[in-house]
Amino acid sequence: MATKEQASSEFVITQTFEAPRELVFQSWREPERLLQWWGPVGFELSVLALEFKPGGMFHYGMRADNGYEMWGKFVYQAIAAPEKVVFVSSFADQEGNVVRHPVSATWPLTSLNTMTLSVEDGKTMMTLRSVPQGDSELEQATFKEGHESMKQGFGATFAQLAAYLARVQ
């Protein structure tokens, strides 16, 4: 359960796709699809592990053209196909251990994310909600201050998803 401070730090982003909900959902659960869109623009994704079930993990690496590498992971909490995925996300090392943000020592170690898909007027609306799991006020503040950067980053990632969905329909 989120504390009042955590709830006030909640990040929310919504994107509408011209694609069936089932296809958008599959794009979150299948490694060959994730490889086409997940991660920052300009990074190559590698899927180190993907076990799409409650308690399972998505462990991935991202490599920039200049050779810079970083890793992340999701630990799935709940899945209700094709409408909802709940997961804890974090930065990770190559072995899958949770580590601090590569450029922010005060970023929360983990965040609880809820991705929902709904259908409106024949289009799929995806909403991602993220709540920081850190207990410190500084971590909460850092997360809240990062909302604009997160909006830009997720916006670009979801644009990659939209382009992928357009290609495969």
Domain ranges (residues) in the chain: 11-168
Whether residue 21 is predicted with pLDDT greater than 90 in this model: the reply is: yes
pLDDT value at position 129?
Answer: 99
Mean pLDDT score across all residues of the chain: 95
- pTM to 2 decimal places: 0.93
Q: Which of 10-19, 61-70, 134-143 has the lowest mean pLDDT?
A: 134-143
| For range 7-16, the mean pLDDT | 91
Q: How far is CA 113 from the centre of its chain?
A: 7
56-73: b (≥16 Cβ within 10 Å) or e: ebbbbbbbeeeeeebbbb
Q: How far apart are CA 71 and CA 13, in angstroms?
A: 22
Choice between 1 and 48, residue whose per-residue pLDDT is larger: 48
The CATH architecture to which 11-168 belongs is 2-Layer Sandwich (3.30)
Whether residue 3 is predicted with pLDDT greater than 90 in this model: the reply is: no
Q: How far apart are CA 40 and CA 56, in angstroms?
A: 23
- Give the tens place of pLDDT for each residue, 108-166: 999 999 999 999 999 999 999 999 997 799 999 999 999 999 999 999 999 999 999 99
pLDDT value at position 50?
Answer: 98
